[in-house]
Amino acid sequence: MQDTITSLINPADQRGKYLETEELEKLRRYFQSGETRVKAASAISNNAANIIRESVANSLLYGDITCPGGNMYPTRRYAACIRDLTLFLRYATYAMLAADPSILDERVLDGLKETYNSLGVPIQPTVQAIQAMKEVTTRLVGAEAGGEIGMYFDHICNGLS
Q: Which residues bind other proteins (CB under 8 A)?
A: 1-6, 8-9, 12-13, 16-19, 24, 27-28, 30-32, 34-35, 37-38, 41-42, 44-45, 48, 90, 93-94, 97-98, 103, 107
Task: Please identify, using beta-carbon distances, which residue of 94 and 153 lies nearer to other proteins.
Answer: 94
Least spacing, CB of residue 160 vs other proteins, in Å: 20
Least spacing, CB of residue 133 vs other proteins, in Å: 14
Task: Please identify, using beta-carbon distances, which residue of 41 and 151 lies nearer to other proteins.
Answer: 41
Q: Dihedral angle at the C-alpha atoms of 71, 154, 91, 10, nearest 10 degrees?
A: 140
Residue 139 CB partners (closer than 8 Å, separation 6+): 146
Residue count of the chain, please give it. Answer: 161
37 neighbors 96 (Cβ within 8 angstroms)? yes
Task: Please identify, using beta-carbon distances, which residue of 65 and 148 lies nearer to other proteins.
Answer: 148
- Residue 37 C-alpha from the chain's centroid: 13
